[in-house]
């Protein structure tokens, strides 16, 4: 196998982790390439990605076209997409090289030539202005919104912006899409969960222009309807066998901890 060490040079401590990975792969006589996150290559079989969730999302979007699995090493904050921390790197790499991991396929979305692993977020093109738009699902009118925007999310993205906006947390392999309005100007608006094969349209009202964000990183503007649907390929995440989803939730969100010491 040929490995990639993908890094974000702007992340603090990235070089330290790079050196440790280089040592681990070299000691096992394994072939690898050093790749900046802004200059990735498909000429590999497996990618170690050093950085926060943003770095991992960028790598996932790129490598999804080639079905190449990625393994995230967290240098950021929450790190829902990462599998290990720098202090646990040596043991985690040993597990990967011995095959003690699984490949999990994750649903992705597409819109206007862009793709996203977490979500598409639609907001007014004018900063600070609420958006007015209509929502259609499978050519059926659902409702109109006056809101700060709307989040169209995969299950992977349900623990990102969607969760912060009051949306549900979904199991990552669920075959559904979540639609979450952002600060709607009504108490009646609620998140909606729909099948993954749904065609979702966000339709501008009057003369609004919208900015659409893919995974919070890539942005484009539109003044016409925005169509979001399932991408025909999936992201491949390499997960350690002992990093189960509910364990990650407990650790990242501190669920199940009593506020009072017993």
Q: Active-site residue numbers?
A: 53
- For tokens 């793709």, the residue is 115
DSSP E strand boundaries for 125-251: 131-137, 140-147, 149-153, 176-182, 192-195, 200-204, 210-214, 218-222, 226-230, 235-240
Q: Locate tokens 């009057």: which residue?
A: 206
Length of the chain equals 262
Nearest-CA neighbor of 146 among 184, 120, 179, 190?
Answer: 184
b/e burial code for range 244-260 (CB count within 10 A of at least 16 → b): ebeebeeeeeeeeeeee
Q: How far apart are CA 176 and CA 155, in angstroms?
A: 7
Q: What is d(CA 64, CA 118) in angstroms, rounded to the nearest whole number? A: 13
CA–CA distance, 157 with 114 (Å, rounded to integer): 16
Q: Residue 229 burial (CB < 10 Å; 0-12/13-18/19+)?
A: middle
- Report the 10 Å Cβ neighbour count for 40: 20
Pairing mode, if any, of strands 31-36 and 2-7?
parallel
Give every CB contact of residue 257 below 8 A, 6+ residues apart in sequence.
Answer: none
């Amino acid at each position: 196998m040929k490995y990639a060490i993908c890094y974000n040079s702007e992340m603090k401590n990235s070089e330290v982790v790079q050196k440790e990975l280089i040592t681990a792969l070299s000691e096992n006589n394994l072939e690898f390439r050093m790749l900046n996150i802004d200059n990735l290559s498909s000429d590999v079989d497996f990618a170690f990605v050093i950085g926060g969730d943003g770095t991992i999302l960028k790598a996932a979007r790129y490598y999804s076209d080639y079905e190449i699995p990625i393994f995230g090493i967290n240098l950021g904050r929450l790190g829902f997409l990462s599998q290990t921390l720098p202090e646990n790197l040596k043991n985690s790499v040993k597990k990967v090289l011995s095959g003690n991991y699984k490949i999990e396929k994750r649903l992705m979305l597409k819109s206007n030539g862009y793709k996203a692993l977490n979500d598409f977020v639609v907001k007014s093109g004018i900063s600070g202005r609420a958006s007015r738009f209509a929502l259609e699902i499978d050519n059926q009118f659902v409702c109109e919104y006056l809101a700060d925007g709307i989040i169209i999310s995969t299950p992977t993205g349900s623990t990102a912006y969607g969760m912060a906006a009051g949306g549900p947390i979904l199991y990552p392999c669920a075959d559904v899409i979540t639609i979450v309005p952002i600060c709607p100007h009504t108490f009646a608006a609620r998140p909606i969960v729909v099948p993954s094969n749904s065609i979702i349209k966000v339709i501008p009202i009057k003369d609004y222009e919208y900015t659409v964000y893919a995974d919070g990183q890539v942005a484009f503007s539109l003044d016409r309807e925005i169509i979001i649907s399932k991408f025909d390929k999936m992201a491949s995440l390499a997960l350690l066998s002992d990093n189960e989803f509910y364990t990650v939730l407990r650790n990242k969100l501190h669920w199940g901890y009593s506020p009072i010491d017993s």
